């Protein structure tokens, strides 16, 4: 077995995408006096969510966009949250709305997401955007799968005809990832916890996307030599007296077989926020009847 030829540097890729976002933002300001605005809503004080929201705010401002942060107590009622969404829907300075998930258990996340104006749904979770993506129409594409697709296109160019296996069928990663790969004319298999002989299914993949949430589940001998492996998983494991992050793929064994692989951390993770910023610029252009920046999104290819 030979060593993996390429580790896909998601950090560098995301930095490049953020630079392109910032260029578009500057152009929107200079040519049209428009500043894209992203509103992030955080309910409660989940520590991981706090970190995500803080990072989103920092990167939004660094890209030259306006960030609106709404931090609500975990006692917030459904009615109060819905009222805030209605207010953000009506605010012309807000082009993208993101509600940080998970919400506290007493809140109905589905109802909240579907109350967001679909044209401002930069997470792509509104049922209308889900349907548009599934039917191959222009939509808002969920950020994590979008980031994966941009990296795959960069690495492989035309994906048409390749065998793609997506392990995981969640609404936020697995299903939209599979839809995007189908849109690229891959032959797509979606695997999940009931899949029989998962190693054999994985071994058929030219493109293997792991979105499971199980540390290092996918081993090197599950991977077809030369395949491109995208590891979405973020798992915190204890390592002596520290904790560290690992993916769903056993990087050390997989890297000896794969043609290219994303590391964890530093692979898919950084792309997610960069794609959120890109989606906000896209939403802003659409809201103002301006051409969409074709280098920022996935959906333009099919539009």
The catalytic site residues sit at 56, 100, 123
Q: Contacts with ligand NDP in 43-102 (CB under 6 A)?
A: none
Angle (CA) 205-206-209 rounded to 5° is: 65
Among 14, 166, 212, 285, binds ligand NDP (CB under 6 A): 212
Order of strands across the sheet with 187-191? 6-7, 260-261, 228-231, 207-210, 163-167, 187-191
**5 or 193, CB closer to ligand NDP?**
193
Nearest to 75 by CA among 39, 43, 113: 43
Residues 143-202 that bind ligand NDP (CB under 6 A): 144, 167-170, 172-174, 191-195, 198
Report the residue from 27, 71, 214, 256 that binds ligand NDP according to the rule CB under 6 A.
214
Among 118, 233, 263, 293, binds ligand NDP (CB under 6 A): 233
**CA distances to 35, 76, 227, 279 from 95, in Å:** 9, 24, 38, 9
Q: Which is nearer to ligand NDP, 36 or 247 (CB)?
A: 247
Name which position in 44, 104, 213, 259 contacts ligand NDP (CB under 6 A).
Answer: 213
**To the nearest whole angstrom, how small is the minimum distance from the Cβ of residue 183 to ligand NDP?**
19
The whole-angstrom distance between residue 237's C-alpha and the CA centroid of its chain comes to 23
Roughly how many angstroms between the first and final C-alpha of the chain, as a whole number? 42
Nearer to ligand NDP, 36 or 269 (CB): 269
Choose the binding region for ligand NDP from 62-70, 84-92, 117-125, 230-238 (rule: CB under 6 A): 230-238
Task: Scan for tokens 């795959």, then name that residue.
Answer: 152
Among 25, 162, 211, 260, the residue binding ligand NDP under the rule CB under 6 A is 211
User: Is residue 293 near ligand NDP by the rule CB under 6 A?
Assistant: no
CB of 67 or CB of 269, closer to ligand NDP: 269
Considering only 70-78, 209-217, 276-284, 291-299, which stretch makes contact with ligand NDP by CB under 6 A?
209-217
Can you read off the two tokens belonging to residue 134?
A: 């599934």
- 234 touches ligand NDP by CB under 6 A: yes
Tokens representing 139 are 């939509």
Whether a cis peptide bond, with omega within 30° of 0, leads into 102 is: yes
d(CA 279, CA 83): 24
* Residue 208 in the binding site for ligand NDP (CB under 6 A): no
**Cα–Cα distance for residue pair 185/163, rounded to 1 Å:** 9
- How many residues contact ligand NDP, by CB under 6 A? 25
DSSP state of 186: -
CB of 264 to ligand NDP, least distance (A): 8
Least separation in angstroms between residue 155's CB and ligand NDP is 17
CB of 185: closest distance to ligand NDP in angstroms? Answer: 24
Give the nearest distance from C-beta 175 to ligand NDP in angstroms: 9
Pick from 113, 57, 60, 66: nearest CA to 85? 113
Please, what is the minimum distance in Å from the beta carbon of residue 242 to ligand NDP?
Answer: 19
Strand 242-246 versus strand 235-239 pairing type: antiparallel
Contact 86, 112 (CB under 8 A): no
Cα(74)–Cα(46) distance, rounded to whole angstroms? 9
Binding residues for ligand NDP, rule: CB under 6 A, are 144, 167-170, 172-174, 191-195, 198, 211-214, 232-235, 268-269, 272
């Amino acid at each position: 077995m030979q060593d993996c030829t390429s580790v896909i540097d998601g950090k560098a890729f995301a930095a490049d995408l953020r630079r392109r976002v910032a260029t578009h933002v500057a152009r929107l300001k200079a040519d049209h006096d428009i500043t894209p605005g992203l509103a992030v809503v955080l309910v409660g004080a989940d520590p991981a969510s706090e970190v995500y929201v803080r990072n989103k705010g920092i990167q939004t401002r660094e890209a030259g966009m306006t960030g609106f942060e709404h931090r609500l107590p975990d006692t917030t009622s459904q009615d109060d949250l819905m009222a805030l969404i209605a207010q953000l829907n009506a605010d012309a300075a807000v082009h993208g709305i993101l509600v940080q998930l998970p919400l506290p258990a007493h809140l109905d996340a589905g109802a909240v997401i579907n109350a967001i104006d679909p044209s401002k749904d930069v997470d792509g979770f509104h049922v209308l955007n889900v349907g548009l993506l599934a039917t191959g129409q222009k939509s808002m594409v969920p950020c994590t799968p979008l980031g994966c697709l941009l990296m795959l296109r960069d690495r492989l160019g035309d994906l048409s005809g390749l065998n793609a296996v997506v392990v995981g069928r969640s609404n936020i990663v697995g299903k939209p990832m599979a839809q995007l790969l189908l849109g690229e004319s891959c032959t797509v298999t979606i695997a999940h916890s009931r899949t029989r002989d998962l190693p054999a299914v994985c071994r058929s993949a030219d493109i293997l996307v792991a979105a499971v949430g199980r540390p290092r589940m996918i081993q090197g001998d599950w991977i077809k030599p030369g395949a491109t492996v995208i590891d979405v998983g973020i798992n915190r494991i204890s390592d002596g007296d520290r904790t560290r992050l690992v993916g769903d793929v056993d990087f050390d064994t997989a890297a000896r077989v794969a043609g290219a692989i994303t590391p964890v951390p530093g692979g898919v993770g950084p792309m997610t926020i960069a794609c959120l910023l890109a989606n906000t610029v896209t939403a802003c252009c659409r809201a103002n009847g301006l051409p969409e920046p074709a280098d920022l999104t996935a959906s333009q290819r099919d539009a």
